[in-house]
């Protein structure tokens, strides 16, 4: 498989890889690094990966594993409190749109109180804008399970706003 063939087959997935990586690491630079790593791996195994039937599922799988590895390594290095994911995003974000960062931060603060699986489902669906089937693939869950996680998370967020306005 030459470069052009490889590009036409795998390059369209760069956005998906980036979105999943970002949803897991909450770090734009890390997400870009993971995209490069994933493509490096795909390049190395491109002859054997010719037999892979579902490129998308395969790419989501290796992206998830790489992103989780990096995220865990980072957590071990920095010992980040679970509630301060927003700080991590704010510190290392290259996004100059402060309003967007503030919004992202607000959501992160709200999400931080949710269970990890609900947070991940919400990030993948709403931050990374992935459709339910891809969220399910990235989380290795069924679509029904993902819908349940999203449902609980959305209801909890609504309750939080209602509580704010009730005061």
Partner 1 sequence: MQNKIEILIDRFYKGETDSKEEELLVNYFTQEPGSLQGDADRNVIQLLSSAKISVPSGLESKIASMIDRWEVQEKKRVMDRNRIEFRKRIIGVAASVLLVIGIGFWYQYRNVENQSGLKETFDTPQESQEAVMEALQLFSQNFSKGTGAMEKADEQVDKTLKIIDQLLNENVVNTESNHTSQNK
Which positions touch partner 1 (CB under 8 A)?
Answer: 2-3, 6-7, 11, 14-15, 18-19, 22, 28, 32, 35-36, 39-40, 43, 94, 100, 103-104, 106-107, 110, 122, 126-129, 131-132, 146-151, 154-155, 157-158, 161-162, 165
Of 4 and 81, CB closest to partner 1: 4
Q: How far is the CB of 49 from partner 1 (least distance, A)?
A: 14
Determine the 3-state secondary structure of 32 from DSSP: helix
Long-range contacts of 86-93 (CB under 8 A, 24+ apart): 86/112, 88/26, 88/27, 89/26, 89/27, 92/27, 92/28, 92/29, 92/30, 93/27, 93/28
Q: How far is the CB of 82 from partner 1 (least distance, A)?
A: 19
Of 65 and 151, CB closest to partner 1: 151
Q: How far is the CB of 72 from partner 1 (least distance, A)?
A: 21
Q: How far is the CB of 79 from partner 1 (least distance, A)?
A: 25
Distance (Å, rounded) from C-alpha 92 to C-alpha 115?
A: 24
Of 74 and 126, CB closest to partner 1: 126
Of 79 and 150, CB closest to partner 1: 150
Distance (Å, rounded) from C-alpha 86 to C-alpha 106?
A: 8
- Torsion sign (Cα): 119, 25, 67, 52: positive
Q: How far is the CB of 127 from partner 1 (least distance, A)?
A: 5
Is residue 27 within 8 Å of residue 89, measured between CB atoms?
A: yes
């Amino acid at each position: 498989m030459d470069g052009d063939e490889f590009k036409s087959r795998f390059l369209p997935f760069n956005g998906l890889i980036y979105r999943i990586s970002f949803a897991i690491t909450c770090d734009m630079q890390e997400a870009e690094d993971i995209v490069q790593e994933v493509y490096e791996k795909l390049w190395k195994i491109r002859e054997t990966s010719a037999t892979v039937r579902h490129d998308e599922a395969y790419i989501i799988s290796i992206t998830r594993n790489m992103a989780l590895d990096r995220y865990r390594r980072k957590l071990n290095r920095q010992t980040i409190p679970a509630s301060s994911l927003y700080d991590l995003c704010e510190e290392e974000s290259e996004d100059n749109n402060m309003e967007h960062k503030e919004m992202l931060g607000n959501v992160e603060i709200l999400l931080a109180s949710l269970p990890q699986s609900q947070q991940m489902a919400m990030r993948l669906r709403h931050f990374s804008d992935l459709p339910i089937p891809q969220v399910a693939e990235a989380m290795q869950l069924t679509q029904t399970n993902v819908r349940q996680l999203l449902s609980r998370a959305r209801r909890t967020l609504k309750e939080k706003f209602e509580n704010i306005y009730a005061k």
